[in-house]
Structure 1
Amino acid sequence: MSDVSYVKPADLVKRLVAAGEYKALLSTRDTIIRAFMGGAILALGAAFAVTVTVNTGQPLLGALLFPVGFIMLYLMGFDLLTGVFMLVPLAWIDRRPGIGMKALLRNWGLVFLGNFLGAFLVAVLMAIIVTYGFDTDPNAVGQAIGEIGHGRTVGYAEHGAAGMLTLFVRGMMCNWMVCTGVAGAMMSDTVIGKIAAMWMPIMLFFYMGFEHSIVNMFLFPSGLLLGADFTIGDYLVWNEIPTVLGNVVGGLSFVGLTMYWTHAKTREPRLPASLTPHTTDIAVAEPAKVDVTR
């Protein structure tokens, strides 16, 4: 395999910053189309994972297969809110021309809208499927989706502030893994390499039950359409809003900023204490570079 199949961290950060700049400057039409398709495909992946889990009784198998949706949408160049939570701020921090707070909020708002519309469309279509066009009660998959919505709204509310904290932390942990997957999509120049790098963290977050704002744009409206026992207010206050905030903090803090600080703004290596700034032995003062990727 060619050496260029793996992109080293310093070069990876350059790609992340450039991607954030590109997405922030993208036209309104293209931003919404790509976000719409991203939300729709991820929702299909979530529906697939729930179906697998219900039909087999194996949650691990559902989590193992859930990344299919995430991988497809990124290979096709579509966008998720969770990804731009990391990418666009990096372009702003790097002072790319035309990237300020206005451009950042514009991108986030448009991607949120597109993701929601795409996920909601799939929620409606799946509700039709699991009820034979609302002619019967939801089947086992529909009932499972409704229970997810109830447990992950009212279930948090029952614990008050502790529940809200747990929800926020789950949102953070989720986008830590998701943005690791987003970076993974740029970590290799081969399709197989991209798939492997994206698959691992996405499988982890889904099986661990972390909170993903776009997945929830499908699960919770689906539950409401299917008659689950929670309200729109429960969904917004006890899931979507705290999840979005947690996703912002987790993706940007644990992936974007840490990668940027250490690989784009790398400090000079420390010299051994025995050396002084006046050392003239070039062979010692400038130690050979070590390939840390091996």
Structure 2
Amino acid sequence: MNTKSFVKSIMAGFTIGLGGLIYLSLENKVIGSALFSVGLFVVLTFGFNLFTGKVCYTIDKGGPTALDMISIWVGNFIGTLILALMIRGTRVGAAVSEKATALCEVKNGDSYLSLFLLGILCNIFIFIAVDEFKNNSHELGKYLGIFLGVMGFILAGTEHCVADMFYYNMAFNYSVNAIIKLLVITAGNTVGGICINYVCKKIK
């Protein structure tokens, strides 16, 4: 992966973090989940490299390689970290950090199986959003897919590894348990994204 692609990965993490910031800043989950969609909207319209979107297409001919995905994951993490550090230096930092900490405590207290399965389910929603944007011939359908997919994964309580990177960075939680849980969620996202893409190809 070249420098330009890595920067696109960092930007994807940063913009998904912006979605997470909006979500944590609002009390209403429905409105928060709808506005979180800003993150994925920017990723798709600007062509940034988001792990959960790209991993779905690793089985496609000419799709991202394993090394590409590792680089994208690292770039996404850096992007969420940059944003989290910026927010922590502002007047809203304490309140956002408190909410992120509460979210991370739930994740850290969950079982590996639960997080893995929630990761799988999350990337089914993400695949729907990304694939609709790529392939829907109707302009409204392209963007509606983004909003419905993102709202679905958030309101259903599923686990998105890049959003979780932002929450963990915002909570300043880098325990061994947190790292393992994040990797389990990443594995779930990977399996979910690849499987839903494979099934959709087979039934076309």
TM superposition score normalised by structure 2: 0.92
Counterpart amino acid of 2:131?
A
Q: How does 1:242-261 map to 2 (within 5 A)?
A: 242-254=184-196, 256-261=197-202
Counterpart amino acid of 1:182?
V
Q: Secondary structure at the match of 2:146?
A: helix
Q: Deviations over 1:30-84 (max 9, x none)?
A: 220111111100100111111022xxxx222211221111112111111211112
Q: CA deviation at 1:188?
A: 2.9
Q: CA deviation at 1:187?
A: 2.4
Q: How does 1:40-189 map to 2 (within 5 A)?
A: 40-53=14-27, 58-91=28-61, 96=62, 104-130=65-91, 138-139=94-95, 141-153=96-108, 155-156=109-110, 163-189=111-137
1:14 counterpart residue number: none
Structure number with the higher helix fraction is: 2
Q: Alignment RMSD, CA only?
A: 1.8
Q: Is contact 1:172-1:251 (8 Å) kept?
A: yes
Taking a change above 3 Å as real, the CA distance of residues 64 and 81 of structure 1, as seen in their structure-2 partners, is same
Q: Which has the larger radius of gyration?
A: 1
Counterpart amino acid of 1:248?
T
Counterpart amino acid of 2:140?
I
Q: Which runs of 5 or more residues in structure 1 are unaligned?
A: 1-26, 133-137, 157-162, 225-229, 264-294
Q: CA deviation at 1:88?
A: 2.3
Q: Is contact 1:35-1:78 (8 Å) kept?
A: yes
Match for residue 3 of structure 2 among 29, 41, 54? 29
TM superposition score normalised by structure 1: 0.65
CA distance in 1, matches of 2:36, 2:176: 28
Q: Which runs of 5 or more residues in structure 2 are unaligned?
A: none
Q: CA deviation at 1:167?
A: 0.8
